[in-house]
Structure 1
């Protein structure tokens, strides 16, 4: 019986040695082939040993566990990974979810938990080995070999196979199934067989293996007509239905001669790399994109780079409990990030950070509000496969938060503005920004505010700030500290405002 190779990586010798003797590895189908004290040493040993499983500490000098996994993944490494940590750290767990980690174990390692992981991994590795052997046998067919050779960089050297000499056009479609479950290799193989049964007997196309995708070489220009794209999508959907939760499919440019096949493949591959931002439930083609991609293209550079207020405005939208404002702020932030060229991982991470900032501010402005449940839901965002569903889930979280706090959404906009000012007077509150949230013209909103309060917006805000500053000064706080605490970055400006409303300087008031 073949054994699967394990590399243990930890900067503590006792952990490395302890793990290697903790269980009977051989009985479970594994063998510890080596140990490493840090990520750099592990990288060198990985290249030489090609282990099937790496068990790595998340915190190590020089190169930590996540950096190690990211480096190996970037180089094409497809090994399984178990991460060890002495810290139940949200930030690390969040990163780990983007790197295809099989398990996340806290130290000291529980023997039974580790054995359960290994039993599951053994089953997956057995399936992958069997699938690889089967795929290797199938890959020997001349047509698939010719297609794969043509898609390589020196593809022009390979002739067109006999089986498709009569085709007058070609088109490469790449298919990526998602959520294949525990028996991933078998599900992948069955989807491929279903596609072969659907396309090959009828001469509609040839299925080929191109991990992590299933390739489909179509006869003719399938994506030229809406009806044909819809038919193609339905056929792929039927092939995946029993074995995958979802899938992404991207069609390359049409090739009219065999020598253009690689160009079709590269255009499909480029779409696949941007698949997170493409519409779901359709075949991606050149020019595909969500409404957020279209909106980003319409953004000016100034709009795209003006991200400093994004978290602030999102928090205000939640605070006033206005759903349409929440939706608008989320979509504007999405368009700005796409305009800045953010990839899927960066896009998700920056949005999660935005939501974390909103929760942080709510913890301060509403100390009675428990944010724990919502912070736990942030990790779920990383499982979303498409931009649209990702943003929909974000809106859902924010609306749930707005519904759970006493945002008084039934009250007038002015009443809600007053509440917002009294809770957030130290923020950079601007009438123009609040008008956007309420979907009002700023001049009109200013008149409404003056009519109901008897004060201009800026005057009202200044008076609230000065009242809070007086309390801070009475408590012994220094003038420049009080100014900053209530929202005045310029202490001279604070002096002028204080004297205007109190008839004395902050220093004189403090001495009273």
Structure 2
């Protein structure tokens, strides 16, 4: 129902207007009456109103002044003026002051109904446009958030080399505050649990749970979310710690309180150790997962703070991951096994917590390699999950190492096939990598390091199989993705440029026109013409 205020200094006229039409049938409800413009404005401060029906001549403040003030202070309100015949031209001249329509006294019921229907249609059309605009804005923010989440997951689980490139990408995605050299953050692993452990119920509640967590996070500056497919029913948070003000506890309490009261499900939250700088993000993420893994089985809401369990410094040599990667990329399982066993086999010298941390770092590395070689099959996912489960058990180090060996062997077998496929499988893997990471700063040197191939040989092989060099292929992927983003009118051209990996809108426009024949603005306008 649209809400109406009747303003007239004569009470009998106000009563008459109430009786002239069936307001409810026309979709209206009279919620207030006022005897002059001044009184009406005071009521509008506390009452939600869509339409004001006002006489033109009133004491203290007349209808024209009321319309003008409504136009300034409540622009969404439609004002309909009632006037005598002698005032007709005067009223018409004031339409620009906020008067939406006018009726001559005495008001005929059919004329009043006609004006009300016209105003109602206008209000409904405006609300529809506002809803569509809000939907576009939501989609625009959703696009950005999705790319942000994908990149944060990439930072904590996959290989990356150039720190300056990471800083640039974080800037493009409006995540600059995470790129500061001494930034301090905590990771939180937030799992949803249900009383009866009913999978169907958990599946049904996953989307509301995820959206609620994101809404809460939006009220906490410097907090971001991402989703790790390896951990179902769980959302991951990165929480920026300001100097001398760790608000993690407040955030955790708010999540648990709202999820319980609004969704009637429990939450188990693992709080990781505070870490400094991007290079420590993997350590921080794993520590939150380790905290979560020490929760009690069942649906009881719990908070496990890693720092309260044991303050332990995890030492993970910088070159260790590189040595393991080299062994796998060279299809040398004995070398991988020897290095892993030398580093992790001495279990008597490690705590269970330290061993679990190391195992997770190796598992992240192997998962990243499996993804790079496009091995995200059901069997590989099961192997990853089984390995993760054995780590969470915290009681069988040999079992964990055995799972890591099995996973490494599977990846090495794929590497061998790739190496002996006359370049086809390696090119497929590179193309798959480019399709997923097109927005990152990628050079031929980066690819050659990632796939352990001479850059000149890689360039030649890629062009032989694809028909174009890798840089042209990457630009084409970016341009096609940009076309999709340009459909969202709320995204600025610089936003689209950043989302697809261009650092400036000018360079993006130049490249886009070269490939499409139109500038991004012209392409967007052409979409409107087709629609």
Same fold, TM exceeding 0.5?
no
TM-score, normalised on structure 1?
A: 0.31
Name the structure, 1 or 2, with higher relative contact order (CA <8 Å, separation 6+). 2
Structure with larger Rg: 2
TM-score, normalised on structure 2?
A: 0.31
